[in-house]
Amino acid sequence: MDMVLNQATLKRDGVQDYVSLRATALIILAYAVFIVGYLLITPELTYEAWSGLFSNLAVKAATMITLVCMMVHTRIGLWQVLTDYVKNSTTRSILSFVLNLMALAYVAIGLFVLWGV
């Protein structure tokens, strides 16, 4: 019962972070394998071929999911690194804010580029 109540709250949980990191890493890996596979089987990589790949709705959805997974993965990793190595809470908060804002900006830019194709 404690686990159910714990998962229903918004507090950080080590098990939840562990599972989230592993799940997002697997999704990012699967996407990377897909892209590398596409690059290997495409005889001539042209703008038309690349544009055709990303005009497919399934590829757009997979890319969007991967971008969000990258942000989640980054947020958890940043939290772990900053809490371990930056002891001053003000500095840690500023760094966390700036770096998380950058991660969000990368996702936003990626989505604008993705849906602009």
Please report, in range form, the residues annotated as the binding site: 73, 85
Could you tell me the CA-to-CA distances from 54 to 43, 51, 100 in Å, in that order?
17, 5, 27
List, as residue ranges, the binding site for heme.
73
Alpha helices by DSSP H, 1-117: 2-8, 14-41, 47-55, 57-85, 89-116
List, as residue ranges, the binding site for a ubiquinone.
85
Q: Say which DSSP state 11 is in.
A: S
